[in-house]
Amino acid sequence: MSRSIERICVFCGSSPGRNDTYGHVARDLGRLLAERRIELVYGGARVGLMGALADATLHAGGRVTGVITRALADIVAHPKLALEQVATMHERKARFAELAHAFIALPGGLGTFEELLEMATWNQLGVHDKPVGLLNVDGFYDPLLRFLDHAVAERFIKAPHRDAIVVDDDPGDLLERMLLHENPKIAKWVASDDG
């Protein structure tokens, strides 16, 4: 059963990374969102992958909503957007969750990891039932995926919760899989007798 996704929040680096492919895929995703008439929600910056993603979406005629803290707005705000400004990073993430019908993480740093894992945790706890996707560009997230598998093997994460993070290396394929994805309806807690 396909779901409706009108807005996707994308988490990604405020740096471009050392591999040009990261920027190419960010721009591909931006164009794809515009073509599908899916509004981009993101962190509101003009720099790094964030800027490449927003610019590509705008250039292709797409809609973009940026949410940024007042402190960051003075430093990296995208000049072509009317941004929503909030006081704290906590408010920013809460606004992302309110606006978006799904979440995708591109390559990034600590902030991207934290945002991705918080949305996956909220999904696991039933705070929301929105797809969480990982665009694994050039294997960037392979170490994280191995670590999640390790956490499953060590019985800190249930396999269906780990598998609820939809992973693909192609923006179009990832989006299609997220449209069809159903989150597991099982309890978070792993008991000692769980097999």
10-61 per-position pLDDT tens digit: 999 999 999 999 999 999 999 999 999 999 999 999 999 999 999 999 999 9
* Phi, psi at 179, each rounded to 5°: -65, -30
Residue 194 lies in a domain: no
Tokens of 14: 């405020």
Residue 99 lies in a domain: yes
pLDDT digits (tens, 9 = 90+) for 55-80: 999 999 999 999 999 999 999 999 99
Nearest C-alpha neighbor of 106 from the set 13, 3, 1, 9:
13
- CATH number (domain holding residue 34): 3.40.50.450
* pLDDT number for residue 185: 79
Q: What is the tally of helices (H) and strands (E) in the chain?
A: 8, 7
Give me the domain span that covers residue 76: 7-178
Q: Average pLDDT in the 88-102 region?
A: 95
* pLDDT number for residue 194: 57
Structural element, H or E, at residue 130: none
* pLDDT number for residue 186: 75
Structural element, H or E, at residue 134: strand 132-135
Residue 195 lies in a domain: no
pLDDT bin (cut points 50, 70, 90) of residue 189 is low
**Which of residues 184 and 151 earns the better pLDDT score?**
151
Phi and psi based region of residue 96 (left: phi greater than 0; alpha: psi -120 to 50; beta: remaining) = alpha
- Hey, what amino acid is at 155? R
Residue 1 lies in a domain: no
Residue 140 lies in a domain: yes
pLDDT bin (cut points 50, 70, 90) of residue 183 is confident
* pLDDT number for residue 1: 53
pLDDT bin (cut points 50, 70, 90) of residue 182 is confident
In whole angstroms, give the CA distance from residue 102 to residue 154. 29
DSSP state of 79: T
**Domains contained in the chain, number:** 1
Residue 46, CB half-sphere, CA atoms under 13 Å: how many? 11
Residue 33 lies in a domain: yes
| Interacting residues of 101 by C-beta distance below 8 A, sequence separation 6+ | 3, 4, 5, 6, 7, 8, 130
| High-pLDDT (> 90) share of the chain, % | 87
Question: Mean pLDDT over all residues of the chain?
Answer: 93
* pLDDT number for residue 188: 67
* pLDDT number for residue 195: 47
Residue 86 lies in a domain: yes
Query: pLDDT at residue 121 above 90?
Result: yes
Residue 65 lies in a domain: yes
